[in-house]
Structure 1
Amino acid sequence: MIKPLIYKADLGIYCEAGDFYIDPHRPVARAVVTHGHADHARAGHGAVLATRETLDIMKIRYGENFAGATQAIKGAIRVGDVNVSLRPAGHVLGSAQVVIEKGGRRDVISGDYSRVANPACAPFEPVPCDLFVTEATFALPVFRHPDPVNEINRFLASVRRFPERPHIIGAYALGKAQRVIMLLRQAGYDAPIYIHGALQALCDYHIAQGIPLGDLRPATMDKAQARELREAVLIAPPSAFGAAWVQRFADPVISFASGWMQIRAHARRRGVELPLVISDHVDWPDVTRTIEEIDPEEFWITHGREEALMRWAALTQRRAQPLHLMGYEEEPE
């Protein structure tokens, strides 16, 4: 077996032949970034290589000078002694798998990824490889995510049942908020959707990239808008539920869109009346299916439920190892 092109280092996954890190958790001289979530995309690197969308998103979040230099990867480029390309990961807009090739060997670092259709980003693209690096956020047999279309239909049934109550969905600013909006639009909900100010810039960016989010309005709660919001659908970041912002609404239906909503204790702890099990990560069937489909000689596990995947690897006679990487949250931001 040819030696892998990457290995675990103090700051994350490192490619020595290209002299770069993938999603390092502290500033480095050169980083390849898989997507714009804050636990993967950090400011302060000497140089950042990523998709154009991820670079744009980092600029929105961190400002113009978030790195010393940037380069958008389109197609394969030469970095040191290796070829690097990016393939869609299906996680959020601009999310990508990092494909590293040299001398007939190919290693793929998937970042965070999903196999379920997401109208707000490009679908995951399986890449045959020698080494596949996978997340394991929901890698337990108990995690089997339902169809997000059915979850949105449950939400809209509540909107119809309680038309006098505002419905507020907690959703992360990058990816989840836009996906929920698109799911609502595809389900036929064409009324205005009111969004918290923390979502505005990233929603505007998605619209500029051709993603039709429809009629979005700021949830400012001024006197002219107060009546509208009493019967509205609103989307806000999870942090808003612990702030004065949510207290302005009388008897709201609190919802939250996350794979963790499958665990009732998580929903109760957040005070969620209507949990929506909508995840942008692979669940147990999809992570195992992906490994079987790609069929690498070996796979590594970056973070999450490592023990269950290691046991599955042993039962299916596959080579695997956990990396025990630190610095990544299981649900970003």
Structure 2
Amino acid sequence: MIRPQDLLCPKPEGLYCAPGDFYVDPVRPVPRAVVTHGHSDHARAGHGAVLATPETLDIMGERYGAGFAASTQAAAYGEAVARDDVEVTLVPAGHVLGSAQAVVRWKGLTMVVSGDYKRRRDPTCPAFEPVPCDVFISEATFGLPVFRHPDDREEIARLLRSVTQFPERSHIIGAYALGKAQRIIRLLREAGWDRTIHVHGALERLNALYARHGVDLGPLAPATTANKREFAGQIIIAPPSAMQDRWSRRFPDPVAAFASGWMQIRARARQRGVELPLVISDHADWDELTATVDELRPGELWITHGREEALARWAHLHDIPARALALVGYEDEEE
């Protein structure tokens, strides 16, 4: 009888597929890797061969340079790729541009590695696609009942109300450079903000990459000028690290905002000096995690990283065998 661990098993490098001789999102260089998305804790340079979506390969090339792997293979969503006796298919994960779940099939057994994912709509990438499976291998970044994210449109409405209320001040939004920044821009466009959005230089290349892949971000401009008053009433987007350095002092009495699921914890907002916390996350919250597992009803639930114990306990209470893999090396990009 085939056991799930005969197909995928945790190793220090990451999840290893022995029949196909590859790793999924390995945390150190390996001969063959399947990469679910372009965030640096999942997509590292130095592998021998990398299989990923075309968008993820472009992101890795932009971040690490053209020689980030000895060889690459692009797989479109839904395209089955053979790795020895194993079939690998990438399907949308709804996390960021190009993000995918890795569906691994072998001898009638189907295991799905979620990578990072969310279930709510994102105007910058395809929605998460549920895949029936024997084993679902899920993240649990926000795997506690306290994490229930509000509607992102209402969070954007709060931002725009603040801009209206304080027209003499600029608003600087801390947002991770890959995925979150572009999503905030698109949500602002959908909310009717058609003015130029100013961006930190660290975001420009990834913004251009999104545009090349058909994500219309509207008018953008570098957040550079000698005249502070030009930024009154303006929205500026920057990586979180820039919020704490001298760069942010060039703007008139800025309202410091930060877009992250962690902003639900007010103590974190205070520690960062955030005046306007925006609870917008690219990860599934507690309700989305549990609803996904309940929808799939897999034979087993494996949990890769995050708040593993609570989700495993929930699964056991709902008659789904679960185990925490406690994989090391995956951090939340928003932190």
Q: TM tier, shorter chain?
A: over 0.9
Secondary structure class of the residue paired with 2:316: helix
CA contact (8 A) 2:260 2:334 kept: no
Q: Deviations for 1:288-319, whole angstroms, at most 9, x for unmatched residues?
A: 00001111100100011111112112211110
Mapping 1:81-100, distance limit 5 Å: 81-100=85-104
Letter in 1 for 2:36: T
Number of the residue aligned with 1:214: 218
CA contact (8 A) 2:115 2:138 kept: yes
CA contact (8 A) 2:143 2:289 kept: yes
Gaps of 5+ in 2: none
Secondary structure class of the residue paired with 1:49: strand
CA contact (8 A) 2:29 2:48 kept: yes
**Greater shift in the superposed pair: 147-156 or 230-239:** 230-239
Number of the residue aligned with 2:113: 109
What is the distance in 2 between the residues matched to 1:103 and 1:306?
29
Tell me which of 180, 195, 201 is aligned to 2:184: 180
Number of the residue aligned with 1:310: 312
What is the distance in 1 between the residues matched to 2:151 and 2:237?
20
RMSD: 1.0
Q: 1:332 Cα deviation (Å)?
A: 5.0
1:120 equivalent to 2:124? Answer yes
Q: 1:256 Cα deviation (Å)?
A: 0.3
**Greater shift in the superposed pair: 252-261 or 97-106:** 97-106
1:290 equivalent to 2:292? Answer yes
Number of the residue aligned with 1:130: 134
Q: 1:241 Cα deviation (Å)?
A: 1.2
Number of the residue aligned with 2:245: 243
CA contact (8 A) 2:109 2:134 kept: yes
Q: Deviations for 1:119-158, whole angstroms, at most 9, x for unmatched residues?
A: 0111000000001000000010111000000000000000
Tell me the TM-score normalized by structure 2. Answer: 0.97
Letter in 2 for 1:7: C
Number of the residue aligned with 1:169: 173
What is the distance in 1 between the residues matched to 2:174 and 2:102?
30
Mapping 1:25-174, distance limit 5 Å: 25-74=27-76, 75-174=79-178
Q: Deviations for 1:276-295, whole angstroms, at most 9, x for unmatched residues?
A: 00011010110000001111
CA contact (8 A) 1:37 1:332 kept: no
What is the distance in 2 between the residues matched to 1:237 and 1:98?
29
Q: 1:330 Cα deviation (Å)?
A: 2.3
Q: 1:19 Cα deviation (Å)?
A: 0.5
Gaps of 5+ in 1: none
Structure 1 outlier segments of 4+, above 3 Å: none
Mapping 1:315-330, distance limit 5 Å: 315-330=317-332
Number of the residue aligned with 2:199: 195
What is the distance in 1 between the residues matched to 2:256 and 2:314?
37
What is the distance in 1 between the residues matched to 2:334 and 2:130?
24
Count residues in correspondence: 331
**Greater shift in the superposed pair: 109-118 or 246-255:** 246-255
CA contact (8 A) 2:297 2:320 kept: no
CA contact (8 A) 1:132 1:299 kept: yes
Q: 1:233 Cα deviation (Å)?
A: 0.3
What is the distance in 1 between the residues matched to 2:230 and 2:209?
26
Tell me which of 241, 251, 273 is aligned to 2:275: 273
Tell me the TM-score normalized by structure 1. Answer: 0.98
Number of the residue aligned with 1:257: 259
Letter in 2 for 1:2: I
Q: Deviations for 1:202-248, whole angstroms, at most 9, x for unmatched residues?
A: 0011111111110010111235xx43223210000001012210011
Number of the residue aligned with 2:24: 22
Letter in 2 for 1:145: H
Letter in 2 for 1:88: P
CA contact (8 A) 2:141 2:305 kept: yes
Secondary structure class of the residue paired with 2:101: strand
| Aligned sequence identity (%) | 62
What is the distance in 2 between the residues matched to 1:309 and 1:248?
44
Q: 1:332 to 1:70 in 2, by over 3 A?
A: farther
Q: 1:160 Cα deviation (Å)?
A: 0.3
Secondary structure class of the residue paired with 1:181: helix
What is the distance in 2 between the residues matched to 1:231 and 1:314?
51
Letter in 2 for 1:136: A
Q: 1:143 to 1:154 in 2, by over 3 A?
A: same
What is the distance in 1 between the residues matched to 2:233 and 2:312?
48
CA contact (8 A) 2:14 2:23 kept: yes
What is the distance in 2 between the residues matched to 1:237 and 1:294?
35
